[in-house]
Structures are given as structure tokens and as C-alpha cells.
A and B are shown apart, each in its own frame.
Chain A
Amino acid sequence: MRKENNNRIRKAAPLLLMAVMALSACSKGGSADAKAPAKAGADTAITGAEFTEAAPAAQTEESGEAVTILIAAAASLKYSYEDELIPMFEAQNPGIKVQATFDSSGKLKTQLEEGLEADVFMSAAVKQMTELTEENLIDAGSVIDLLENKIVLIVPEGVDAKVSGFTDITDADVIAIGDPESVPAGQYAKEALTSLGLWDEVEAKSTKGTNVTEVLNWVAEGSADAGIVYATDAKTTKNVLVIAEAPAGSLAQKVIYPVGIVSTSANREAAQQFVDFLQTGEALAVFEQYGFSANQ
């Protein structure tokens, strides 16, 4: 009798294990591209099923059920959004929950092109927004050039600096910049360095991050001797020192952060409410606190 029971358990165990794995896969929603972080303490929770289904789940805006919108925003906006703006917005709009995914504007653009179901997109450069608008993925009429940012040169804190400014940036062994092809901060870095005639030399010893936060942390860790990031990023960590701002006139245009509504958004009203909120005085005050300036 015992032997029979043992056999049954042996047969059931692997099936049970598979069932547990299948259940946990369903409920955790392993969607690799929508890296929406579940914020601790904030009620932005949503079941993973929302991300793994092909068509967006029907959200009734009229019936008073909670609507959830997904913001895809440039990496440099992460702290201001997560720490202040999203909680502020949700407090003022109890019927709307906000989820957000942060990465380089280039990566997010690719994700949107590949079907990421975001409602609002805020990039760190006009380039990605324009390209998406041309592909009809962004509602052209909804685009607002909201913020301005500055590009700075940083070095690791606590390590003997190899460079003192843009002019001797080539004294560094490894320079961290965003990949100009996908990261706006990298585009701006390339532009500034090209206007200074230093681009080729810098590129030869550059490590290219796929988003500006990666660049920032490479410098913070001391792995790179210098890096070019936004002034707002430099403010978020004590492990880097800002030694120079991009020289006057080195950037043809200001660093502009536009925001727009994704044309395939299923929650247009809520998305518009969020975009309107971002233009209010109190939201702009938060941005300024983090080092951005309102675009005049």
C-alpha cells in the first residue's frame, strides 16, 4: 500500500510544480517590454493580465471604475514622476491610476513601434516624438514642448579627476555617453562635442549607454572617468560631480522634452487629463525643483 502512495506522490509532484509555475506566470504578468515598476506603497497595482493580452482590456471611463494609464517617459524623468508627480496626480484624480515605464527615448520609441500599449509618451528630445508622429503613433495635435534641460559633464566623486572640463575631456581613458542613436542625451553630447571638434576622439574611447541613467551610474561607480548627462540626472546622486555645462552655442537647439498622447491609446480622456496636469503651475514647480525649466 505504501509503495502505491509513494508512486502517486511521485507522479503528482511534477504536475503540481508545473501548475504552481503556470499560476505564478499568469499572475505576475511576465511582460518583458513593459517594465512598469510596481511602486511600493503606491496603489498603482494592476494585474499582469493587462499586459499579456493582445487587445487592451476594456476600460469604462463613464462607469466610475478605475482607469489605468501607462506613461512611457524618458529615463531622466523617473524621479520627478515617481516621487512627486504621479502621487500628486492620483490624489487629485482618484478615478485614474498611473503606471509608468522609464527608459531611453530611443528604446521607448522602438517599444511603441512594436506595440507597447502606452497612453502618454514624454521623450527627452524632439527627434523621437517627431518620428513617432510621422508614423502616426502619436497624436500630432496633442504634442506640447513642455520642458527644457541642460547637458553637463560629470566625473566620479571620490576619485582623482582626469578631466577638468570639455576642453580636456579627451584626457579621460573611458568616457560614458548615451548611444547617440537611441539616447537623446547621447545625441546632445554628440552635437556639443562635434561643435567643439572633439567628437571623433571622444567616440573612440566612449562607452555607450542605452539610457542616460546607465551613463550616470557608470560614472558614479567610477567605471568611466567622465560622462555627459543631463543636469537633472547629476542632481539625483552624490556620487558624481558636475564640472562643466555644455559650452554656450554648442547645442544648435535647446534640450526640449515634448509630451504627447499615443494615438492608439484606449484611455484618451485620462491621458489628456494627465497631459493637462503636467502643464499646471504646481507640476512645473515640481519639475523645476528637480532641475528642469519650463520651456518658454
Chain B
Amino acid sequence: MDYSPVLISLKTAAAAILITFFAGIAVARWVISIRQENVKVLLDGVLTLPLVLPPTVAGFFLLYLIGVKRPVGQFFFTYFSIKIAFSWAATVLAAVVISFPLMYRSARGAFEQVDQNLVYAGQTLGLSEWKIFWKVVMPQALPGILSGGVLAFTRGLGEFGATAMIAGNIAGKTRTLPLAIYSEVAAGNMEAAGVYVWIIVAVSLLIVGGMNLIAVKKQSFR
């Protein structure tokens, strides 16, 4: 039984959440600060697209971007000798793109429900914007942001369509759990596929359940 897909999936999801977490928060904060309504709405739509479109659409665009024969991919290849397509980095790229909207939306929602009065209070007390963000806004938004992070992590763990398109199915390098399951089912090895399925279900349940448990515990102190 080859357990490399488990390791690869966990590595990929971990790397992806590291990027997505901070990117999602930063972008959410930026979008909220935009004053023109139209720009805000349009930006929000574009940033949410990977969530509502089929992952294969994201894969299509990514392939057009980083494929060896395409402009960006060629640039990286000729000047840095880095081939993004079909490398482990591509699995992370796919996971980031697909899970980003989840993180972004959760972060944005969390920020928007922060009591503005507290922010004003901070401003009248002379706190800098940075201090207000870290001491007033973040603690309030943290539960929403953390749950967004958990969702984004599990979404990155389960990414399949875009990964298959830009990272390929290289056992030991880019074959993530979902790809392994697909390959085993295609080969008729239902038992092997079943093992992978149970692993990913267990991991996801643990994470989501753990998150809920922490949320409940936090509530009980209020």
C-alpha cells in the first residue's frame, strides 16, 4: 500500500494554507478599504470565481499561464530553468487558487462584522491603524478567520481537477490523495481506493470536528 499520496496531500495542503491564509486576510482587508462600490463588487466577483466555477476552469487558465509552451511558463523555464507545470509546486499552486476564495470570503465576512464602534474608540484613543488592526479588529475577527482557514485547508486537501491538469499524476511527487483515488478506481482497485478515501475522510473530519469543538469551548466562556 503506497502511502505517499497521504504525505504529498498533507504537504501540499500545509504549504497552500500558509500562502492562502495570509493572502486571504491581506486581500480581504484591501477590498474592504476600497471606496468605490463598483470596483469593490467587481473585484469581489473575480476573487470568488475559483470557488463557483468548476476547478477544471481554474486548471485551464493556470495551464494557459504556466504551461511550458505558454508565455509565463516559458519565461520561468528559459530564465530560471524552473518548470512549474508538473512539479510539486504546481499542486500547491492549484490548491492555493482553488482555496483562496474560501479564505478571502471568510476573512472579509469576519472583518465586516467587527463592531465599528470599537474601531472608532481606538481611533479616538489615538491608536495607530496598525495597532487597531492587531489589537481590536483581529481578536474580534479571529474565530471567523480561523474557521475560514480550516475550510481553505480542507479544500486544498481535496483539490483534484486543477491539480490533475497542471501537476499531472506523478506517483511520489504530484499524486495527491484525490488523484490516487481516481487512478485506483480507474484501475478497478476499489480496496486501495477505499483506504485512501477513509484516510481523507478521517483527516477532514478530525480537522472540521476539532474546529467546531474549539468554537464550542470558546462559546462556553461567554
Contacts and interface: CB of A to CB of B under 8 A. Distances in A.
Q: Do A and B bind each other?
A: yes
Interface of A: 104, 106-107, 109-110, 113, 156, 158-159, 173-174, 176, 179, 181-182, 203-210, 218, 221-224
Contacts of B171: 203, 206, 208
A176 B174 CA distance: 13
Interface in B181-195: 182-183, 185-189
B174 A208 contact: no
Interface string B66-89: 011100010000000001011000
Nearest to A157: B69
Contacts of A221: 63, 67-69, 85
Contact of A107 (B63, B85, B172, B186): B186
B48 interface: no
B186 A106 contact: yes
A113 B172 contact: no
A82 B3 CA distance: 40
B169 interface: yes
A109 to B, nearest CB: 7
Contacts of A223: 63, 67-68, 85-86, 166, 168
B188 A205 contact: no
Contacts of A182: 183, 186-188
Contacts of A209: 169
B120 to A, nearest CB: 36
Contact of A210 (B67, B73, B85, B186): B186
Max chain B CB contacts within 10 Å: which of A107, A156, A223?
A223
Contact of A222 (B68, B172, B189): B68
B108 to A, nearest CB: 25
A171 to B, nearest CB: 15
8 contacts: A156-B68, A174-B170, A207-B170, A208-B171, A208-B175, A218-B86, A223-B85, A224-B86
B188 A109 contact: yes
A202 to B, nearest CB: 12
Contacts of B169: 179, 207-210
Contacts of A203: 171
A60 B138 CA distance: 69
A27 B7 CA distance: 43
A181 B187 contact: yes
A104 B186 contact: yes
Interface in B96-120: none
A280 to B, nearest CB: 33
Given A174-B168, A207-B170, A224-B86, A179 B187 contact: yes
Contact of B172 (A104, A110, A204): A204
A141 B166 CA distance: 44
Contact of B69 (A156, A174, A181): A156
Interface string B185-220: 111110000000000000000000000000000000
A191 B86 CA distance: 25
Max chain B CB contacts within 10 Å: which of A113, A156, A218, A222?
A222
B173 to A, nearest CB: 8
A209 B68 CA distance: 18
Nearest to A186: B187
Given A156-B69, A221-B67, A223-B86, A106 B187 contact: yes
Contacts of B166: 223
10 nearest A-B residue pairs (beta carbon): A181-B187, A222-B68, A207-B168, A182-B187, A223-B85, A182-B186, A222-B69, A207-B170, A210-B186, A107-B186
